[in-house]
Structure 1
Amino acid sequence: MDIIISSYKDENHQFNFTHNLSQPPNTNINVHIHDQYELYYFLSGDVIYYIEGQTYKLQSNDILIMNNRELHKPNFESLKDYERIAIHFLPEYVTSFQGKTYDILKSYEKRKLGFFNHFSAEEVARYNIPRHIDKIEKHIDKNSEERHVMIKTIFIQMLVKLNQIFSMKINSGEHAKTYEYDSKIVEILDFINNNLGQKITLDLLEKKFYVSKYYLCHVFKKNTGFTIMEYVIHKRVMKAKELLQMQTPVIDTCNAVGFNDYSNFYKVFKKLTGVSPREFSR
């Protein structure tokens, strides 16, 4: 059973806040593809979260951030009650706060995919982020006429706090010291993301990276939570969405992201997005 504790959308549908409790969690959650950026605040459960080759065993009050190019999904280690707060927002929601000398979306955009996504409960508490989240939820409950303004200004303060933690992590070299990752997998992820228009097969990856394709399948799934072909297909659809938003013709988009066969592109795109490529581009 999924209980919605609180929820909110801004007037322009650029910001969405949801506080959910699942009893038990839905263990069939598929790979996430969002047009929005996400701030995920973990409250309780038994969850391992996969983001672009990184694996995080979550602790209560941890925060994860993901931009719209990062594949991510949770994996449940047990059926323990699962509570979390998810904030989805479009970059346009905060563009009025962008300055020439300050990037309000620095923590989301100024990093390599799959790096610096995790903010520990200790860091989150040190910067008083839970207090900001509580304030947002209180304004949601009040349903006052000023709540849109108050929620937005509090959220902007949260982004500033995340930027401060992000800068601290970079300056301390924390990622290199704290997180273990398979360098071969990172190389393969980079190759896939830079060659989505090319034919990518297990045989190709085996030859290029000098590793058995059978072992590669095992290690890739272990490190990312996805099969190789699942990852490739989702990344192609994500890239296709980018191109279609730039008004690239549908057939050109199909070829540019490595599908070549339009009927297959159509089926996969509609399955993952819910609309056809032409409908999406309108």
Structure 2
Amino acid sequence: MTKDLVSYKTSDFYFSHPFTESPTDIDTHIHDCYELFYFISGDVKYYIEGQVYQLEKNDMIVTNSRELHRIVFNSQKNYERKWIQFKSEFIFPLQTKDYNMLTYIEKRKLGYFNRIRSENVISYGIDKYWLEIEKYCQNDSAESSIMIKTLLVQMLIKINKIFSENKIVIMDSFENNEKINTILDYINENLNKTITLDLLEKLFYVNKYYLSHIFKKSTGFTVIEYITYKRIIEATKLLYKGIPILEISDAVGFGDYSNFYKAFKKITGVSPKQYTKEF
């Protein structure tokens, strides 16, 4: 059972502080925005692309709109966290041509440098920003919305400093599997082609059944699940560009439109046509 201790939402910003008793695994998903995740308690492994992070109290996870992730619980310990989801439009008025607050969140290789360790969260005072943002999310005062925005901007600046000054420390935060990383790179670069387990077996000299096992263990996703999600993400980008829907099905490697339609609707919640109208 999950209880929302605090929740605040606008069109391009969402803050939540949930508490869950006896949590269950959270399936593969992706957001159409940036997410900052602050871990308070629980027994959690956070899978992002090809990396897995065992979280400790006060750790933070940062993801962009292209990173598949899922959460697995090692035990039924109570699970508490805070998270912020926001779109670039929320901070756009405060961006300058000389300083991009989203540089490190956006430019990282997918699945790399997602975790900010607790010692950095504390030493850079980011935990204080979480407290302040939560306070204003509960406050109906006239200045609350402005304070939330300016506090988030300050937090992002601190995150940029951590990424730029402590890359070696952050790099220790994931378990690496070079074979899987190479396969992930291949998939992301060849989404328009037919990709099967048999093909991956031949290309990377690894038994397909063993590949399926280590892929799921390393990433938290099945091979097919990962490929499908990535193709749908690419399809949404092509829809933004105004490319006809029937052409997109081939362009992202589905071939058969009915399979593309079913996968698109399952992942996005709407049909390709509806997505074009709404987004």
Report the TM-score when normalising by structure 1: 0.95
Within 5 A, what are the aligned runs for 1:83-94?
83-94=80-91
Could you tell me which residue of structure 2 aligns to residue 221 of structure 1? 216
Q: Which runs of 5+ in 1 are unaligned?
A: none
Could you tell me which residue of structure 1 aligns to residue 92 of structure 2? 95
Could you tell me which residue of structure 2 aligns to residue 148 of structure 1? 145
Deviations 1:201-237 (A, max 9, x none): 0011011111111111111111100110110011111
Q: Please tell me whether residue 191 in structure 1 is matched to residue 186 in structure 2.
A: yes
Report the RMSD for the aligned CA atoms in angstroms.
1.2
**Shift in Å, 1:169:** 2.6
**Shift in Å, 1:176:** 5.1
Distance 1:56 1:24 in 2: 20
Distance 2:117 2:170 in 1: 12
Confirm or deny: 8 A CA contact 2:8 2:137 kept in the other structure: yes
Secondary structure of the corresponding residue to residue 271 of structure 1? helix
- Of 103, 113, 117, which aligns to 2:114? 117
Distance 1:177 1:80 in 2: 26
Question: Measured at CA, do residues 176 and 274 of structure 1 come closer, stay the same or move farther in structure 2, by a change above 3 Å?
Answer: closer
Confirm or deny: 8 A CA contact 1:33 1:238 kept in the other structure: no
Could you tell me which residue of structure 1 aligns to residue 61 of structure 2? 64
Distance 2:114 2:171 in 1: 14
- Of 44, 48, 53, which aligns to 1:51? 48
Letter matched to residue 67 of structure 2: E
Could you tell me which residue of structure 2 aligns to residue 16 of structure 1? 14
Distance 1:61 1:253 in 2: 42
Letter matched to residue 108 of structure 1: I
- Of 219, 244, 250, which aligns to 1:249? 244
Distance 2:57 2:173 in 1: 19
Bigger drift between 87-96 and 261-270 goes to 87-96
Q: Please tell me whether residue 131 in structure 1 is matched to residue 128 in structure 2.
A: yes
Confirm or deny: 8 A CA contact 1:97 1:104 kept in the other structure: no
Secondary structure of the corresponding residue to residue 31 of structure 1? strand
Q: Please tell me whether residue 276 in structure 1 is matched to residue 238 in structure 2.
A: no
The size of the alignment, in residue pairs, is 277
**Shift in Å, 1:162:** 0.4
- Of 251, 262, 271, which aligns to 2:257? 262
Letter matched to residue 220 of structure 2: G
Confirm or deny: 8 A CA contact 2:40 2:80 kept in the other structure: yes
Deviations 1:228-275 (A, max 9, x none): 011001111111111112222111211111111111111111111110
**Shift in Å, 1:175:** 5.1
Confirm or deny: 8 A CA contact 1:236 1:257 kept in the other structure: yes
- Of 75, 80, 88, which aligns to 2:77? 80
Report the TM-score when normalising by structure 2: 0.96
Secondary structure of the corresponding residue to residue 39 of structure 1? strand
Deviations 1:145-192 (A, max 9, x none): 21110100000000000000010133xx34555543011111100000
Percent identity between the aligned chains? 50
Q: Which runs of 5+ in 2 are unaligned?
A: none
**Shift in Å, 1:88:** 0.6
Within 5 A, what are the aligned runs for 1:26-37?
26-27=24-25, 29-37=26-34
Question: Measured at CA, do residues 64 and 176 of structure 1 come closer, stay the same or move farther in structure 2, by a change above 3 Å?
Answer: closer
Could you tell me which residue of structure 2 aligns to residue 4 of structure 1? 4
Distance 1:77 1:177 in 2: 21
**Shift in Å, 1:100:** 2.1
Letter matched to residue 8 of structure 1: Y
Letter matched to residue 189 of structure 1: L
Confirm or deny: 8 A CA contact 2:60 2:117 kept in the other structure: yes
Distance 1:264 1:110 in 2: 32
Confirm or deny: 8 A CA contact 1:36 1:89 kept in the other structure: yes
